[in-house]
Amino acid sequence: MQTSLPVALSGQLATEKRLDTIANNLANLRTVGFRAEEVKFESYLSHTAPESVAFTSGGERYLSTRTGEMTQTGNKLDMAVNGEAFFAIQTPKGTVYTRDGRMQMKTTGELVTVNGEPFLDVGGAPLLIDPSGGPISIAHDGMITQKNVQVGAVGLFKMPVGANLQRAGTSGVVPDRAAQPIVDFENTSVVQGYVEGSNVNPILEMTRLIEVQRAFEQAANLIQTSETSLNTAVTQLGTTK
């Protein structure tokens, strides 16, 4: 049995998936709070051939949690997370976690995202301030004050160890396990007047893009060579008397 053709095809399918994730990462290079998507590949052995043959798996996608670059904006309604926690927002599909801390204030005093989705406190309630109460101050533990009066607290949540994160919208994530509220702010804090950019590394992604394109071409060449070899064998055997 010819094994080079299915092996090359499995590799081509895997590199195609990797190309898709790299293209999406590069397209969101300047998206605030965007989490880069990675693909983990494994190989498995087939024992149907006379000798063991290694195939490439389809690839398992996961979201990178490394921190993006922080940029100072000076806007009192902008905030970023220093550490591995996430903000929580309320969407029509439920609670979503994000690193995009750009807030806007509605006329009612509700603090919402740029898409109008409410930011939540640690108890899951929308953040509400006095729209005529003047500028707000956000402490490292998320406590919000106006004129030295505490009016609420930004909720910070940590993803459980081993949780699988699914993308929700552009910058949001949803874990497959309940997120844990942050109560210890020694290693995690809120930074007012900053926003966190995408955690995509453009140089690394471009390098990967070149490598994956070459791997895709090599797999395509191997498929072409296998087909040519098979056609030659069939032609020669067919003319043998």
Query: How do residues 64-103 score in pLDDT, each as one tens digit?
Result: 888 999 999 999 999 999 999 999 999 999 999 999 999 9
Q: Which domain holds residue 156?
A: 70-196
Q: How confident is the model at residue 58 (pLDDT cuts 50, 70, 90)?
A: low
Residues 6+ apart with CB under 8 A from 156: 81, 85, 86, 87, 122, 142, 181, 182, 185, 188, 190
**Mean pLDDT value across the chain:** 84
**Do 128 and 100 fall into the same domain?**
yes
* Each residue's pLDDT tens digit, 190-237: 999 999 999 999 999 999 888 877 776 766 666 666 666 666 666 666
Q: Which residue has the higher pLDDT, 17 or 49?
A: 17
Q: How confident is the model at residue 1 (pLDDT cuts 50, 70, 90)?
A: very low
214 phi/psi in degrees, rounded to 5: -65, -40
**Do 140 and 175 fall into the same domain?**
yes
Does 202 reside within a domain? no
Geometric angle at alpha carbon 91, from 18 and 123, rounded to 5°:
115
Contact between 79 and 190 under an 8 Å Cβ cutoff? The reply is yes
Separation of alpha carbons 194 and 191, rounded Å: 6
Residue 120, pLDDT score? 97
Would you say residue 55 has pLDDT above 50? no
Separation of alpha carbons 194 and 205, rounded Å: 25
Which amino acid, one-letter code, is at 94?
G
**Do 114 and 75 fall into the same domain?**
yes
Separation of alpha carbons 200 and 187, rounded Å: 23
**Do 13 and 91 fall into the same domain?**
no
Share of the chain above pLDDT 90, in %: 60
**Do 84 and 37 fall into the same domain?**
no
Number of domains in the chain: 2
Cα separations in angstroms, 118 against 128, 139, 148, 227: 9, 19, 23, 57
Does 227 reside within a domain? yes
Does 142 reside within a domain? yes
Residue 79, pLDDT score? 97
Which amino acid, one-letter code, is at 22?
I
CA atoms within 13 A on the CB side of 1: 11
Nearest Cα to Cα of residue 88 among 114, 62, 123: 123
* Each residue's pLDDT tens digit, 144-185: 999 999 999 999 999 998 899 999 988 999 999 999 999 999
Does 113 reside within a domain? yes
77 phi/psi in degrees, rounded to 5: -95, 5
Does 203 reside within a domain? no
* Each residue's pLDDT tens digit, 214-225: 776 766 666 666
Task: Give, for 199, the enclosing helix (H) or strand (E).
Answer: none
Q: Write down the residue that tokens 């990462």 correspond to.
A: 25
**Do 86 and 188 fall into the same domain?**
yes
**Do 113 and 149 fall into the same domain?**
yes
**Do 216 and 182 fall into the same domain?**
no
Does 83 reside within a domain? yes
Does 172 reside within a domain? yes
**Do 74 and 93 fall into the same domain?**
yes
Cα separations in angstroms, 128 against 10, 45, 89, 136: 53, 57, 13, 11
Separation of alpha carbons 225 and 188, rounded Å: 55
**Do 82 and 179 fall into the same domain?**
yes
- Quote the tokens at residue 67: 């921190």
Geometric angle at alpha carbon 162, from 160 and 165, rounded to 5°:
80
Residue 10, pLDDT score? 62
**Do 212 and 192 fall into the same domain?**
no
Separation of alpha carbons 69 and 32, rounded Å: 10
Helix (H, G, I), strand (E, B) or coil at 194: strand
**Do 80 and 187 fall into the same domain?**
yes
